Amino acid sequence: MNRNFPNSVPETGLNDQAHTAFDTTAARARAEHPEDTFAGASGVLFEQAMAQTRMAICLCDPHQSDVPIVFANKAFRQLTGYDDHEIVGRNCRFLQGPRSDRGTLDRIRKAIAEEDVLVVEVMNYRKDGTAFWNALHLGPIYDADGKLVYILGSQWDVSDVRAARADERHARDLARELSHRMKNMFAVIGGIVNFTGRVRGIETEAREINERIQALGRAYETTLDDSHRGTVEVGQAIRAVLAPYDPDGTRIRFEGNGLRSDFASVSVLGLSLHELAVNALKHGALSSNDGHITVAWRRNGAADGPAICIDWTEHGSLPGAPAMGSGSDGIVDRMLNMARGGIVREWDSEGLKAKLNIPLRDHAE
Amino acid sequence: MTGIHPSTGEPCRVLVLDDEPLILLDLEFAVEDAGCKPLTALDLVEALAIVQNNAISAAILDVSLGQGQTCEQVARTLAGMGIPYVLHTGDLDRMDEAVRSLGGTLVPKPTPAAVVVARALEPLAIRLD
């Protein structure tokens, strides 16, 4: 009596419902399990399908009292652990248990009574008491005259899918909590810098420090969604850093793809773009009414020395706007140099054109 | 000057509610800088007492006050009195639907305190025009 023990697929070694192969010849199945036999013209095909499918299937007779199972295929026996004589003649509810949701069971009863098709996930129990999530699909089967003959139920063990979904949800909740706490932390840091500047009478300096810290915060904020990957989408970080300088979304144009980078490069990148935006606001394209900026990013450089290249192109700056060297304190140059990158600036009649580059340190995709 | 109440001629009173004292301190300075009188609350009880005992012109409300508490009750009270307020929050997604439906102006954290205060005082400026 080993018919409830499936042959697992040899190549994979997996033994779940999807990877369980039943006897591959209908003849052998028929010989060993005459109860799987069906009469009729397409009987052989139907029989082969029923015997070999990994989808657990049962047929219930709606014309007998308590709608008993009249047929269950091999996959059904394999899934539930019951033998045929323990299945046939009983109502399907022997699969239910303490954690089966009452509301779902009501929907199943209602669907059977009203000859509806229903797809639900319900907690069921095997003969050995172990629970599994059953993706149950049930519906009426009519004969050629449209008379109801069976209720068909197909069962699929989706416990793994449910677990994966739960893990994913948990990870998402965690990332959101982390994001919330980080934003709060940056708000607190901003508060400290502000009131320290105020009581010391150095509000201007404090504001400058704060703007840099908050730019860093925005650059990092985008990393949380991807925290499991270890890399950041460069475009998302760039958009987040520059968002406050373009509240209407009309002054800064973004051109780039899904290039990713390591966290450390993003902090330098974020702060550099923040400084360029502050300068543009004071002296460049953002100081005129109709000026705008194009920010383009791409991967560049040799295969053994890949880099992120950013083109910062200002258009419509006021004529005669002072060509500010490297900002007031050269901080952009120093940050980029420290990251083993650099910046080259040119000015034309439209304003500043800067080319930034920074090495891609990870082998980011 | 938006900071002065039109009928009393005194500085407008602004309720500031946040469970984080350091943020509260920053916002208190910013309210003063805007020429208004800040009234600060660290929790729901303090905030409700301030609303009951003072003529408030505007309010800045942190949405999540810790231990599962939200500013909903304060927001509801202010809405009932027709007092404008901004909701200052680090988690717009998770923000309670009940709070969101009350219709205060949303200001995401972190936003510079001066900007938060400016947003809170916007309705007063319009009213005084």
What is this model's ipTM? 0.76
User: Would you say residue B72 lies in a domain?
Assistant: yes
Chain B contact for A195 (CB, 8 A cutoff): yes
The one-letter amino acid at B107: V
- Contact list in A for residue B110 (CB cut-off 8 A) is 183, 186-187, 190, 214, 217
Mean pLDDT of A151-163: 93
The separation between the first and the last C-alpha atoms of chain B, rounded to the nearest angstrom, is 10
- Contact list in A for residue B64 (CB cut-off 8 A) is 180
Task: Enumerate the β-bridge partners of residue A279.
Answer: none
pLDDT in tens, A55-65: 999 999 999 99
Chain B contact for A245 (CB, 8 A cutoff): no
User: Would you say residue B123 lies in a domain?
Assistant: yes
User: Would you say residue B100 lies in a domain?
Assistant: yes
Nearest to A71 by CA among A123, A158, A149: A149
Mean pLDDT of A25-45: 55
Q: Is residue A21 a contact partner of residue A51, using CB atoms and an 8 Å limit?
A: no
Chain A contact for B30 (CB, 8 A cutoff): yes
- pLDDT category at B40 given cuts 50, 70, 90 is very high
Mean pLDDT of A147-157: 94
R_g (Cα) of chain B, nearest Å: 13
- pLDDT category at A241 given cuts 50, 70, 90 is very high
CB contact under 8 A, A176 and B23: no
Mean pLDDT of A239-256: 90
More confident residue, A19 or A356: A356
CB contact under 8 A, B94 and A176: yes
Q: What is the pLDDT of residue A177?
A: 81
Tally of structural domains, chain B:
1
Mean pLDDT of A213-223: 84
State yes or no: pLDDT of A229 exceeds 70.
Answer: no
Hunting for tokens 């009649």 — which residue is that? A349
User: Would you say residue B30 lies in a domain?
Assistant: yes
The stretches of chain A forming alpha helices (DSSP H) are 26-32, 43-52, 74-80, 84-87, 102-113, 159-200, 203-221, 234-242, 263-282, 331-338
CB contact under 8 A, B20 and A187: yes
The helix-helix angle for A331-338 and A263-282 (nearest 10°) equals 160
Q: Is residue A24 a contact partner of residue A49, using CB atoms and an 8 Å limit?
A: no
State yes or no: pLDDT of A235 exceeds 80.
Answer: yes
Which superfamily is assigned to A7-157 in CATH? PAS domain (3.30.450.20)
User: Would you say residue B47 lies in a domain?
Assistant: yes
CATH 3.30.450.20 domain residues, chain A:
7-157
Query: Which range of residues forms the domain containing residue B68?
Result: 13-128
User: Would you say residue B21 lies in a domain?
Assistant: yes
Residue of A174, A192, A195, A208 best to disrupt the B interface, most CBs of B under 10 A: A195
User: Would you say residue B108 lies in a domain?
Assistant: yes
pLDDT in tens, B66-117: 887 889 999 999 999 999 999 998 766 565 677 777 778 888 888 889 999 9
The helix-helix angle for B113-128 and A159-200 (nearest 10°) equals 80
Across A8-12, A32-36, A80-84, least confident range: A8-12
B73 vs B90: CA distance, rounded Å: 19
State yes or no: pLDDT of A12 exceeds 50.
Answer: no
State yes or no: pLDDT of A100 exceeds 50.
Answer: yes
Structural tokens at position A54: 């990994």
CATH 3.30.565.10 domain residues, chain A:
162-359
Residues whose CB falls within 8 Å of the CB of residue A153, separated by 6 or more in sequence, listed in order:
A57, A58, A59, A60, A92, A136, A137, A138
CB contact under 8 A, B29 and A184: no
- The CATH number that applies at residue B94 is 3.40.50.2300
CB contact under 8 A, B113 and A179: no
Helix (H, G, I), strand (E, B) or coil at A118: strand
pLDDT > 70: what percent of chain A? Answer: 82
Chain B contact for A68 (CB, 8 A cutoff): no
State yes or no: pLDDT of A200 exceeds 70.
Answer: yes
CB contact under 8 A, A191 and B109: no
Helix (H, G, I), strand (E, B) or coil at A251: coil
Q: Which CATH architecture has domain A162-359?
A: 2-Layer Sandwich (3.30)
User: Would you say residue B22 lies in a domain?
Assistant: yes
Mean pLDDT of A117-141: 94
